[in-house]
């Protein structure tokens, strides 16, 4: 199995990405780190612990990362994910899975140093933790097999006309990570909007018939309600699991090589990903950019993962 660290800000779609990473046989999930984004890092960390507890997993450390972007104030997405960051089903009490005694940075350094093979990092939030790691420990970049990020877009944005949320929260971090030379894959809105939670998807999850599957349906139904309210969409895009799916089986998420630059200064466009799909600039490719999703394979993998957890 492919050794993976998942850096996330759960978040409804992050929660589903966590379940996929926990239960798909192609992945060995070595640790989960959290970053401020959809909600405060406190709430995102609690949510990550909650998701792993629901999955009945106790051997995967959950470590808290950055509580704010590198230079900008934090902008949360409570309009999309609610007050808890994972609104929908009500949870009470403390989840069984504890928070690790080390912070995210220490956990990642430890895993990258000790694991016998290079590790894939999947990031489904702002890239603050990854940028901080690469700045502090550039010697470890060779221990990262690849970084697969849900963020950006080859088209337009979802928080400003040109910026996607994970990039908008911390554009400086995304810029630094891209410039680091770590093998980089971008799964942006252009591909995650091919992963729409349509009624037949909800029916497939409901058909699993477990308490966890019912919770997944509640999460995706809440997510659908905010997408309907904010964007008038009848089926919300389940962004984050797409990045995990790319690691599980690259044929599920077709990519092309391209040059990607992050706009950090634009008056109207901060956080935009400038993706040179047509090679106008002559700048060399620095990323694999996801362009097409095999929807059937994607949803099958996700339904199978939730089924496998039981």
Instruction: Pick from 39, 47, 124, 129 the residue near ligand BDR by CB under 6 A.
Output: 124
Which one of Ca ion, ligand BDR, none is in contact with 164 (Cβ closer than 5 to 8 A by kind)?
ligand BDR
Nearer residue to Ca ion within complex by CB, 208 or 242? 242
In the β-sheet with 144-150, what is the strand arrangement from edge to edge? 62-64, 27-34, 2-8, 119-123, 144-150, 184-187, 287-293, 253-262, 273-276
- The radius of gyration of the chain from alpha carbons, rounded to an integer in Å, stands at 18
277 in Cβ contact with 283 (< 8 Å): no
Q: Which does 165 bind (CB under 5 to 8 A by kind): ligand BDR, Ca ion, none?
A: ligand BDR
Q: Which of 33, 47, 124, 132 contacts Ca ion by CB under 5 A?
A: 124
Min. distance of Cβ 11 from Ca ion in angstroms? 4
207 — alpha (psi -120 to 50), left (phi > 0) or beta?
A: alpha
How many Cα atoms within 13 Å fall on the side-chain side of residue 272?
16
Could you say whether residue 63 binds ligand BDR (CB under 6 A)?
no
- What does the chain come to in residues? 310
Q: Reply yes or no on whether 12 is catalytic.
A: no
Site string for ligand BDR, 26-45 (x = CB under 6 A): ------------x-------
Position among 108, 148, 150, 213 found at the interface with ligand BDR (CB under 6 A): 150
- If one asks whether residue 129 binds ligand BDR (CB under 6 A), the answer comes out as no
Those residues with Cβ within 8 angstroms of residue 62's Cβ, 6 or more apart along the chain or in another chain: 31, 32, 33, 34, 45, 48, 49, 52, 97, 98, 99, 100
- Other Cβ atoms within 10 Å of 224 Cβ, number: 21
Q: How far is the CB of 8 from ligand BDR (least distance, A)?
A: 8
Q: Does 57 bind ligand BDR (CB under 6 A)?
A: no
Active site (catalytic) residues: 239
Interface with ligand BDR (CB under 6 A): 11, 13-14, 38, 77, 80, 124-125, 150, 158, 164-166, 239-240
Interface with Ca ion (CB under 5 A): 9, 11, 14, 124-125, 240
């Amino acid at each position: 199995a492919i050794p993976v660290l998942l850096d996330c800000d759960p978040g409804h779609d992050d929660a589903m990405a966590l379940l996929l990473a926990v239960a798909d046989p192609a992945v060995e999930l070595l640790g989960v780190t959290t970053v401020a984004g959809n909600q405060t890092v406190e709430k995102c960390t609690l949510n990550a612990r909650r998701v792993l507890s629901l999955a009945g997993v106790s051997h995967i450390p959950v470590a808290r990362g950055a509580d704010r972007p590198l230079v900008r104030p934090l902008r949360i997405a409570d309009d999309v994910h609610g007050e808890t960051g994972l609104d929908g089903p009500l949870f009470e009490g403390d989840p069984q899975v504890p928070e690790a005694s080390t912070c995210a940075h220490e956990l990642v350094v430890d895993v990258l140093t000790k694991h016998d093979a290079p590790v894939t990092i999947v990031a489904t939030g702002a890239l603050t933790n990854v940028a901080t790691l690469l700045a502090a420990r550039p010697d470890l970049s060779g221990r990262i097999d690849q970084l697969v990020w849900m963020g950006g877009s080859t088209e337009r944005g979802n928080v400003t006309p040109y910026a996607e949320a994970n990039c908008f929260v911390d554009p400086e971090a995304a810029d630094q990570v891209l410039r680091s030379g770590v093998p980089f894959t971008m799964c942006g809105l252009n591909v995650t909007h091919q992963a729409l939670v349509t009624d037949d998807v909800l029916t497939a999850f409901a058909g699993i018939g477990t308490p966890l599957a019912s919770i997944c349906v509640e999460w995706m139904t809440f997510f659908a309600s905010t997408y309907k309210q904010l964007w008038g969409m009848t089926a919300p895009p389940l962004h984050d699991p797409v990045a995990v799916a790319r690691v599980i089986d690259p044929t599920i998420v077709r990519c092309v090589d391209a040059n990607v630059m992050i706009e950090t200064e634009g008056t109207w466009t901060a956080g935009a990903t400038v993706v040179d799909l047509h090679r106008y600039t002559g700048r060399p490719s620095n990323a694999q950019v996801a362009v097409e999703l095999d929807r059937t394979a994607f949803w099958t993998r996700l339904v199978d993962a939730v089924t496998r957890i039981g």
